[in-house]
Structure 1
Amino acid sequence: MIDEVVFVRHGRTKYNLARRLQGQIDIPLDAVGRWQADMMAYELAHRYYWAKAAALSRGVGSSSVGMGAGSGDDSSCYRDLPVHSRVLRIVSSDLMRARQTAEALGTLLHVGVEVDARLRERSFGSWEGMTREEIKAMDPDAYRSWKDHTGGERAYGVEDRGHVGSRGADAMRSLVRADDTGRPGTLIVVGHGSWIVATIATLLGLSGTEVSSIGAMRNCHWSRMRPVHGGEGRLDWTLEEFNHGPATTEDWENGPGYLRVPGAPLWVPLDTAAGAA
């Protein structure tokens, strides 16, 4: 029975750096995004190391090297440990940036990554690939309506935010209810910023105007919810963590200096970018 759901946003891409709406364009991680994914994976691997121990007890990813070479049985030391008291699943959006992020964690924990298209990012229609400045210049009224959450973006084929939240929440309920292991478990879903925020808001029962009060998700940060199983299949949800990330002294959005091309633009917050314009 899944009693913990962790939402992880993918790492940085070149579109994130350029502040272009990605939507469902299939963009891979850039060098900083891969670093972010690894830092996230190292951090969450501390928390969920029991999942790797459980995999090793089944011989998944086992090797005799350094564990009594020649015996061919390095899983024996795990067999009597209580590592099977919980189960862990990793499910990713089918878009490459999410799959690459999920694989960073799955590789460390020896847990396979499942793919689910229902976790895709919000579709931004004909705005995909554009910056906010380009959208505003093309249609300032639609841009203003989008920022005010009054629906002007729908004229350009942008997916309604309520629909994003509904399909995300439906996917979460389906994944949680489909668990038939009989053991408590953790579900880690790797997806996208707008999708995660809309899904969490819907699960919490927030109205459309209340969604913005939650805030945004940074790259390779996570949020954690508890599904509470009630009678007749009812699920209630509580939010226990939001937008948490690895502790690091590095510039998270731009990564360590050795991953930056000299003279390349740096990611800056929207309000800072607007002030510098």
Structure 2
Amino acid sequence: MIDEVIFLRHGRTGFNLQRRLQGQIDIPLDIVGQWQVDQSAYSLAQRFYWAKVSNIAAHPDLLPHSADPSVRRMDVDEYRKAPASGRTMRVVSSDLFRAQQTAHAFADILGLDVHLDARLRERSFGQWEGMTREEIRERFPEGFRSWTAHTGGELDYGVESRADLGARGAATIADYVRTHAQDPTPTTLFVVSHGSWIAATIGTLLDMDMDNLNTLDGIRNAFWSTMGVSADATGTHWVLTEFNQGPAIAAAGDWENGPAALRNPDMGVWKPVKGAKA
């Protein structure tokens, strides 16, 4: 049974730096994005180290052994008898490459598989994908005003509504929960996706008004949120236990632009845009 869900947003991309709407355009991480996901992966791998132990207990062939027959073999029973083996973790990721890179930064440390799921893709921004907000404002002024006022004008340009996005995300998570319902093993579902998708999914699971999602802070690159899930005769219940959390290093420097050692002279500087939540 799934009793915990972790939502992790992918790291920075070149489109993030340029403040372009990526949507479902397949953009890889940039150098700062790779650094971000590595930092978050290191932090989360410490927290969820039990998942490596549990995975080895279930798949003893993963346990390394010396090729020298005189060296005693490692004892898999140490892993099987460890309390950590009583839980399991499943890592799922959007099939867009920036999410895959982010998922593997975490999962590879713990020796976990990454399962791809197109249902975890970012919100589709239709004709606006790849454009900056300034470009949208210039070319589609009425649509832009309606979009920022949350009155739905963006739908005329093929943009997926927040309500549809949230419904897609919540249905996907509910499907995972339902699929694992008969498995008695407590399971953490580790979901790697995108900022708008995560915010809309969490909002829908909590029965929030999709047009008032600005009550949730924008999801930062490579930051995570955690929800607890339980079920009884009245249905499935969700509790948000962490929101928009990052590794300690994120508070110690310029997280969005990364350390100076990674910035080349041609690289722009990421700056926040007021009212940029999508």
TM-score class normalised by the smaller sequence: over 0.9
Residue 82 of structure 2: aligned partner: 81
Aligned-residue offset at 1:185: 1.3
CA deviations over 1:214-241 (Å, ceiling 9, x no partner): 1210000001111121227x21111111
- Maintained 8 Å contact 1:68/1:74: no
Distance 1:272 1:87, change over 3 A: closer
- Contact 1:228–1:237 (CA under 8 A) maintained in structure 2: yes
Asked whether 1:198 is paired with 2:207, we answer: no
Deviation at 1:262, TM superposition (A): 1.9
Equivalent position to 1:224, from 200, 210, 226 = 226
The separation in 2 between residues aligned to 1:69 and 1:156, in whole angstroms, is 69
CA distances 1:4-31 after superposition (whole Å, capped 9, x unpaired) = 1111000111000011100000111111
Please point out which of 257, 260, 264 is paired with 2:263: 260
Distance 2:172 2:63 in 1: 33
Aligned-partner SS, 1:216: coil
- The residue type paired with residue 97 of structure 2 is M
Counterpart check, 1:138 vs 2:167:
no
Structure 2: gaps of 5 or more residues: none
Cα deviations by residue, 1:54-100 (Å, 9 ceiling, x for unpaired): 22333354323699984443635423212221111111011100011
Paired with 1:230 and 1:20, the residues of 2 have a C-alpha distance of: 43
Which residue of the partner structure matches residue 274 of structure 2?
Answer: 271
Q: How many residue pairs were aligned?
A: 272
Q: 1:152 to 1:201 in 2, by over 3 A?
A: same
Which residue is 2:50 aligned to? 50
Counterpart-to-counterpart distance in 2, 1:111 and 1:182: 20
Matching of residues 6-155 of structure 1 within 5 Å: 6-57=6-57, 58-59=59-60, 61-64=62-65, 70-73=71-74, 75-155=76-156
Q: Deviations over 1:125-146 (max 9, x none)?
A: 0100000000001011110110
Between 53-62 and 169-178, the greater mean CA deviation after superposition: 53-62
User: Which residue type is aligned with residue 120 of structure 1?
Assistant: R
- Amino acid of the residue matched to residue 247 of structure 1? A
State how far apart, in whole Å, the 2-side matches of 1:149 and 1:109 are. 42
Note the C-alpha offset of 1:271: 3.5
- TM-align CA RMSD: 2.1
Q: CA 1:183–1:67 in structure 2 vs 1: closer, same or farther (change >3 Å)?
A: farther
Higher deviation after alignment, 160-169 or 203-212: 203-212
3-state secondary structure, aligned to 2:89:
strand
- Spell out, residue by residue over 1:26-50, the C-alpha distance to the aligned partner (whole angstroms, 9 max, x if none): 1111111111111111111111100
**Structure 2 CA distance for aligned equivalents of residues 60 and 164 of structure 1:** 40
**Cα deviations by residue, 1:146-203 (Å, 9 ceiling, x for unpaired):** 0111011111100111000001000010011111431111111000000000011111
Aligned-pair CA distance for 1:251: 1.3
Gaps of 5+ in 1: none
User: Cα distance 1:82–1:146, how it changes in 2: closer, same or farther (>3 A)?
Assistant: same
1:200 partner SS: helix
TM-score, length basis structure 2: 0.92
Cα drift, residue 208 of structure 1: 2.5
**1: CA distance, partners of 2:175 / 2:56:** 29
Q: In structure 2, do the counterparts of structure 1 residues 202 and 76 end up closer, same or farther at CA, with 3 Å as the change threshold?
A: same
User: What SS does the aligned partner of 1:186 have?
Assistant: strand
The answer to whether the 8 A contact 2:127-2:158 is kept is yes
Query: Partners of 1:69 and 1:239 in 2: how far apart?
Result: 52
When residues 60 and 270 of structure 1 are mapped into structure 2, their CA distance, relative to the original with a 3 A threshold, is farther
User: Does structure 1 retain, via aligned residues, the 8 Å contact 2:21–2:128?
Assistant: yes
Equivalent pair of 1:60/1:110 in contact (CA under 8 Å): no
Alignment identity in percent?
A: 51
Shift in CA distance, 65/129, structure 1 to aligned 2, threshold 3 Å = farther
1:187 aligns with one of 180, 186, 189: 189
After TM superposition, give the deviation of residue 206 of structure 1 in Å: 0.9
